[in-house]
Amino acid sequence: MLDLPVTVEGYGAIRAHAAPRDKGARRTKLLADLDAAISACELTDGATISFHHHLRNGDGVLNMVMDALSRRGLKDLHVAATSIFPVHAPLMDHIRSGTVGRISASFISGPVGEAISRGALSDAVVLRTHGGRARALDHGQLKVDAAFVAAPAADDLGNVSGRAGKTACGTLGYPLTDVEVARHVVAVTDCLLPYPVQPTDIPQGKVDHVVVVDRIGDPGGIASGTTKPAADPSSLAIGERAAAVIAASGYLSEGFSFQTGAGGISLATAAVVGRIMAERGIVGSFCSGGITGFHVKMLNDGLFRTLMDVQCFDLDAVRSYQSDPRHQSMSAATYAAPHLGGAVVDRVDAVVLGATEVDLGFNVNVTTKAGGFIIGGSGGHADTAAGSRLAIITTRLTAGGFAKIVPEVGTLTTPGETIDVVVTDAGIAVNPRRGDMGERLRAAGLPVKGIEELAAEAAAAATRPTPPRSKGRVVAVSEYRDGTVTDVVRAIEGETG
């Protein structure tokens, strides 16, 4: 042993080196099963566990982990998911048994949303935007004890790839944010590859434990929604009109950046926008958000320089991400967070969004359906509306007999001051806060009307009255990206969902 001083000026006390015992030891993060991982995470009653939804309605990991937690008798757990789908219906049993006491998510569809609306949980569910969830994680408002990553492929030191394996889902933008702050991170995979995985989507330093299971989910479930442009005449007409709005807006020029959802009208809009870009010889900078094969085609057609992808919406997008470096992954924080001085959403020129309801203040509801049952949540809706220069809502005047342009939304998800234009089959309304835009669109020959006029037409076309807001207790809080609250959702009694 060397003769070291006890303290050193500018350094402090010296702890002398002692011989390490594990030279060349082959460390591994591989554990026998989920039970072992749960033990390693030292989870106790009331713990917060997080999940991501890249496998969408094909996800097997949330249910598998919750079953394991339930078997151990843990109670009052907080499920902090990015999204909950119909496949997660078993959560209802865990709520009933007391295993789950709290839920937070950015989007909830299917029977769990209905159960929440019926008051299944005594604590209010927190619905955050994708960017708001990233902010809450970074600011410690959402503290995660264990993040479970559905890993299409992994090695035994925790490098994770979304590009390999039988359940390859492409980018892993949501867990990229969780793994930065979670106390423990568990990669759950059905494809253990030799070390090191390449290329890596989540690096080993962010993962604590690796568990191999038979099957993390159903690859067919990834593309659970429509990811093709609509083909019916009414949707095509709305898409044509939304594209005309973009073309006339002044934003469709060299370097144009664009986001659409994966719905048929959104993609129909994108198809027309792409045609106009090709005609005008415009090359855009990026498409962002959830990415579909249709966006990949626009990239490959030379219409955009790059894709910023938080989640692949279909297998064509997965294949593109596997092979094309222009198709980039981004974390939820990079995508949409409001606290980092500028996210990707802050550079989007135009976004095409859907709505369950839009009201006279241009406020949008994508959280509840007519009658008040939870059927969604913001996801990136409020984030992109706030960040983009031109936020367009496309919607029919009515759906299922209910008016979609209403005096007041059933739940306020996205504030009206961030919505610029509403495009319907009956005409276009421009938010009066964007006065010049109305003139511009009129000058282009577009059928601009007042939002009140559209609401009146919608009311006339509706065959069922919009039910009044419930007066029940609060079952969910709709949090805006900055942590303020835009609205609450109240319990429904009696009627079916």
Binding test (CB under 8 A) with its own copies, winner from 8, 443, 444, 460: 8
Which backbone phi and psi does 493 adopt, to 5 degrees? -120, 155
Is 10 among the residues that bind its own copies (CB under 8 A)? yes
Binding test (CB under 8 A) with its own copies, winner from 58, 110, 158, 410: 158
Q: Point out which span in 84-92, 189-197, 222-230, 234-242 binds its own copies (CB under 8 A).
A: 189-197
Q: Point out which span in 24-32, 88-96, 268-276, 422-430 binds its own copies (CB under 8 A).
A: 24-32
Q: How many alpha carbons fall within 13 Å on the CB side of residue 49?
A: 30
Binding test (CB under 8 A) with its own copies, winner from 34, 62, 65, 126: 126
Q: Read out DSSP for 187-239?
A: EEES-B-SSSPSS-SB-GGG--EEEE-S-SB-GGGTT-S--S---SHHHHHHH
Task: Name the residue nearer to its own copies (CB basis): 166 or 473.
Answer: 473
Task: Name the residue nearer to its own copies (CB basis): 268 or 353.
Answer: 353
Residues binding its own copies: what is the number (CB under 8 A)?
Answer: 82
- Return the CA Rg of the chain: 24
**Shortest separation between residue 100's beta carbon and its own copies, angstroms:** 12
Which backbone phi and psi does 233 adopt, to 5 degrees? -60, -40
Which uninterrupted H or E stretch holds 312? strand 304-312
**Shortest separation between residue 440's beta carbon and its own copies, angstroms:** 15
**Shortest separation between residue 340's beta carbon and its own copies, angstroms:** 5
**Shortest separation between residue 255's beta carbon and its own copies, angstroms:** 6
Interaction residues for its own copies, span 205-234 (CB under 8 A): 205, 208
- Residue 471 — left, alpha, or beta (φ > 0 → left; ψ -120 to 50 → alpha)? alpha
Which backbone phi and psi does 39 adopt, to 5 degrees? -60, -45
Q: Can you tell me the distance from the alpha carbon of 469 to that of 466, in angstroms, rounded to the nearest whole number?
A: 9
Is 471 among the residues that bind its own copies (CB under 8 A)? no
Task: Name the residue nearer to its own copies (CB basis): 11 or 436.
Answer: 11
Site string for its own copies, 322-361 (x = CB under 8 A): ---xx-x-xx-xx--x--xxxxx-xx--------------
Binding test (CB under 8 A) with its own copies, winner from 98, 111, 119, 196: 196
For CA atoms 26, 33, 314, 291, the dihedral sign is negative
Q: Read out DSSP for 121-182?
A: -SSPEEE-BHHHHHHHHHTTSS--SEEEEEESEE-TT--EESSSSTT-----HHHHHHHHH-
Degrees to nearest 5, angle at CA 159 with 155 and 162: 95
Binding test (CB under 8 A) with its own copies, winner from 32, 140, 194, 231: 194
Task: Name the residue nearer to its own copies (CB basis): 57 or 311.
Answer: 311
Q: Can you tell me the distance from the alpha carbon of 192 to that of 211, in angstroms, rounded to the nearest whole number?
A: 9
**Contact present, 343 and 379 (Cβ < 8 Å):** no
Task: Name the residue nearer to its own copies (CB basis): 235 or 466.
Answer: 466
Binding test (CB under 8 A) with its own copies, winner from 195, 278, 360, 456: 195
Is 473 among the residues that bind its own copies (CB under 8 A)? yes
Task: Name the residue nearer to its own copies (CB basis): 15 or 233.
Answer: 15
Q: Can you tell me the distance from the alpha carbon of 245 to that of 272, in angstroms, rounded to the nearest whole number?
A: 11
What does the DSSP 8-state code read for residue 471?
-
Interaction residues for its own copies, span 378-417 (CB under 8 A): 386-391, 412, 415, 417
Interaction residues for its own copies, span 59-98 (CB under 8 A): none
Is 140 among the residues that bind its own copies (CB under 8 A)? no
Is 440 among the residues that bind its own copies (CB under 8 A)? no
Binding test (CB under 8 A) with its own copies, winner from 67, 180, 240, 425: 180
**Shortest separation between residue 88's beta carbon and its own copies, angstroms:** 20
Site string for its own copies, 267-296 (x = CB under 8 A): ------------------xx----------
Angle between helices 435-443 and 233-248 (to 10 degrees): 110
Interaction residues for its own copies, span 291-310 (CB under 8 A): 305-306, 308
Which backbone phi and psi does 106 adopt, to 5 degrees? -100, -10
Show the tokens assigned to 169. 């889902």
CA dist list (Å): 173 to 52, 162, 250, 333: 9, 10, 31, 8
Task: Name the residue nearer to its own copies (CB basis): 18 or 32.
Answer: 18
Binding test (CB under 8 A) with its own copies, winner from 86, 199, 220, 435: 199
Instruction: Spell out the residues 6+ positions from residue 463 whose beta carbon is closer than 8 angstroms to its own.
Output: 398, 401
